Amino acid sequence: MLSAEEWEAVRLTLEVAARAVGFGLPLAIATAWLLARTRFPGRALLNALVHLPLVLPPVVTGWLLLILFGVRGPVGALLFDWFGIRLVFTTAGASLACAVMTFPVMVRAIRLSLEGLDPGLEQAARSLGAGRFDRLFSVTLPLASPGILVGAVVGYATCLGEFGAVITFAANIPGETQTLPLAIYAALQVPGGEAKAAQLSLVSLTLAVIGLLLSEVLGRRLNRSLGR
């Protein structure tokens, strides 16, 4: 059986993942639309920056977040001095680290869904007098909803296993930033903690499988509802 502290790590993991997806998904939709539907100078650079967390070591991403959002960093100092907001070594900071690491996953899924849409449907809506925003919210986004949903669910599942960026930027503070992967790491640092680490790993594995299966089922149902 898991202890109260370990169940707290499970709860915190789910909460951090929900915050990361909740705040990151709208920006991921906007970025995916920008990359899929527009052409502008610097588009290749933006695409590279978006996908950078996929190829950088997570610890490097966490270190860059620490440089930017630490209390002495260019962004972190402004947030702390003007609004009293401190992200480093907090639950919000853990959510930020997870959001940055999963952002490319969500953007990729949504972008592929947008690029796969039939342009004739939007052209038909345009010929009927629908404006750009009308087409976006009544045609484009509903048709891309399977990709948006899959991106959100896979992003959530990815957050459940994020380690390097979280421990570097938010540290490993029980009850504050200690998510499930960090709790597994802490258990392995204690002599005889292998059994506890195995229990926590089983919980992590179960949550990840549920998330992936859920994305598959929901994606298929949405595709069927859209006649695909």
Q: Which residue has the tokens 């401190």?
A: 86
> Residue 181 corresponds to which tokens in the numbers above?
């992967």
Enter the tokens of residue 191: 């002599």
Cα radius of gyration rounded to whole Å, the chain: 20
What is the CATH number for 169? 1.10.3720.10
Task: Render each residue's pLDDT in the chain as its tens digit; 228 residues.
Answer: 778 888 898 999 999 999 999 999 999 999 999 998 888 888 899 999 999 999 999 999 999 999 999 888 899 999 998 998 999 999 999 999 999 999 999 999 999 888 887 777 777 777 777 777 777 777 888 888 888 988 898 899 889 889 999 999 998 888 888 999 999 999 888 888 888 889 899 998 898 888 888 877 877 777 677 666
Query: What is the domain range of residue 148?
Result: 4-225
Q: What is the tally of structural domains in the chain?
A: 1
Q: Provide the 8-state DSSP code for 42.
A: T
Q: Whole-angstrom Cα distance, residue 115 to residue 17? A: 27
User: Hey, is 161 helix, strand or coil?
Assistant: coil
Instruction: Give, as one character, the DSSP assignment of residue 190.
Output: S
